[in-house]
Structures are given as structure tokens and as C-alpha cells.
Chain A
């Protein structure tokens, strides 16, 4: 059954299994996105995830099929996560400070390869805090999740050319920042 059919079943007959199925198709990716955007804090991930689903239930009847459900869903998730980041920024005065990568890695047991991966991931998350939340979203979805430029344009409501130049600028900034921080591997 397609996403659109599941939406139709939930909206027209309050079929909760249809909603469950729909959510199960997107929840892993949503969680990874939230994890990367919200500083690897699992409590915040669950809280934000819940807020996204509340918004989804509230607004799914507005989905008319003009775009794919995936576009509709990620646009909704993006707006929600940017709101959350804006609010927490206002509350804290800045982004959440992330754990220093080496310390984070030293706490994690496991083979060397895994340790290295954890270190790299923590390093990247820390470096990405120099970017605006919306650029972080674009870069993560493109470079980590492999979303297409066209899909990102549809999700954000911006032109493909704008997305490309924003991605390029964000990548350059990120690389420069990593180099300045002495990361040259």
C-alpha cells in the first residue's frame, strides 16, 4: 500500500494501523535526523519525535497529494526541529555544547573501528554547530542520508539552485572549521 493510500485510510476512517504503518516507514530516518540535529541527546530525540507526530496527526488531513508524502513529512519535521532549536537557543543563548570528541570516544567500549567511528561522528556533530540549523538540516539530509537536491528543494520550498549554493557554502565552512580545529586526517 502506498503512503498516500495509508494517509487516506487514516484520514477517512481513523485507521490507526494505517498511521502506525506510515510512521514505521519514516521513524528510523526521522530519529537519525533528530539525533544529528539535536546533539546526540536521546531524551531530546524522543521528545522532538513525539512533537513531530503530534503535528503529523494534527495536519495530515491537509495533505492533498500535491507532493509526495515523504516531502510533506520531512517539511513538517524540519519546521518542528527548527522551532525546537530556535527555542532552546533562546533559552540557552546558544546551541547545546557538545561533548568533546575524544572524551566521548573514550567512554565507549568496543573495537578500534567503532571507536574511531564514534569519534568521527562526535567531531562532525560538534563542528556542525557552527552552521545555521537550516543549513545543518540540508547538509545532513544530503550528505548523510543521500536525499536528492530536488527533494530538498521540495521540502524547503526553495529553488534547486539555492539549495546547491547553500550546500556548497555550508560544506566549505565546515571543512574550513575542521581544518582550523586541527582535523586534517
Chain B
């Protein structure tokens, strides 16, 4: 079957749909408006109180649980030196800041942010000053 034959079928479908729906009565907008106002009425504050109360209860429980649970503690002491040496050998801090972090700042041309990162980079370049 070629495309033009398919187009003909669609043309026929559209025409047949047009003829068939032309027998329908005009849309009943008053019914749609009435249905909407009934829904609004049904969704008034009074009928939504149980839902609001349930949501508030869930929130209170969730916040309480968060307050009771403690975040896992970070192990005390220094980071093992072999790890820091490994990271240092892979990437210098200065390059990391300049190459990786700075370009991710948005907007990238923000002067204030550029200045902040410049000063951080400068500090890393001259750690003893």
C-alpha cells in the first residue's frame, strides 16, 4: 500500500467522522459548568478537613522520626594518609578547583563567583602566604 492510498483512507475517515458528528446536538456547556461548580462545592474547606488533618499527622510523625534518628557519625580521626596521597597523586587540588569546580558554577560569567574561585585558587597556589 502506498502513502497516497493511506492518505485517501484518512480523508475518507475524516469526512465520515464529520458527517456522523454533524447529527449531534450542540455541546452542553451549562452541564459542564454545573458539574464544575458542584465539584468546587464538594471540595470546600469543610470537606477537606479530614484530609488536611491526616496530612498534618503524617508530617508530625515524619519530623519526629527525623529528630529522634541520628545521622551516622563520621569516624573520628584523620583521613588515612595513604588515601590522601592517592588522591593527591591523581589530581592536584589547584587543578581540581580550576578545572572541575569552577566551570560548574552558574552563571559562569558571574564576576563575584569568579572572584571567589580565583581567591580560592590563589590560596591553594600559595599555601604558605
Q: Which residues of A contact B (CB under 8 A)?
A: 16, 19-20, 23, 27-28, 31-32, 35-36, 40, 42, 45-46, 49-50, 53-54, 56-58, 116-118, 120-125, 139-140, 143-145, 171, 174-175, 178-179, 183-185
Does B5 make an interface contact (CB < 8 A)? Answer: yes
Does B57 make an interface contact (CB < 8 A)? Answer: no
The 3 closest A-B pairs by CB, nearest first: A121-B16, A53-B32, A120-B12
**Quick check: A50 and B17 within 8 Å, CB to CB?**
no
Q: How far is the CA of A123 from the CA of B3 in the complex (A)?
A: 16
The B interface is mostly helix, strand or loop, or mixed, namely: helix
Task: Enumerate chain A residues within 8 angstroms of B90, measured Cβ to Cβ.
Answer: none
Interface string of B5-34 (1 = CB under 8 A from A): 111111111111110110110111101110
Q: How far is the CA of A7 from the CA of B30 in the complex (A)?
A: 17
**Quick check: A58 and B6 within 8 Å, CB to CB?**
no
Q: How many residues of B contact A (CB 8 A)?
A: 30
Q: Which residues 57-111 of B sit at the A interface, judged by CB distance below 8 A? A: none
Residue from A45, A123, A144 in contact with B21 in the complex, judged by beta carbons closer than 8 Å: A45
Q: How many residue-residue contacts, CB under 8 A, span A and B?
A: 98
- Beyond contacts A118-B12, A124-B12, A140-B13: 16 other A-B pairs, Cβ-Cβ < 8 A, are A28-B18, A31-B24, A32-B14, A32-B17, A42-B20, A49-B27, A50-B32, A57-B33, A57-B35, A57-B36, A117-B15, A121-B15, A143-B10, A144-B14, A145-B14, A183-B1
Task: Enumerate chain A residues within 8 angstroms of B5, measured Cβ to Cβ.
Answer: 185
Q: How far is the CA of A129 from the CA of B29 in the complex (A)?
A: 31
Query: Which of A49, A144, A171 has the largest count of B CB atoms less than 10 A from its CB?
Result: A144
Q: Which residues of B contact A (CB under 8 A)?
A: 1, 3, 5-18, 20-21, 23-24, 26-29, 31-33, 35-36, 39
Q: How far is the CA of A121 from the CA of B8 in the complex (A)?
A: 10
The A interface is mostly helix, strand or loop, or mixed, namely: helix
Minimum CB–CB distance from A137 to chain B (whole Å) comes to 13
Residue from B1, B11, B20 in contact with A40 in the complex, judged by beta carbons closer than 8 Å: B20
Minimum CB–CB distance from A119 to chain B (whole Å) comes to 8
Q: How far is the CA of A61 from the CA of B70 in the complex (A)?
A: 45
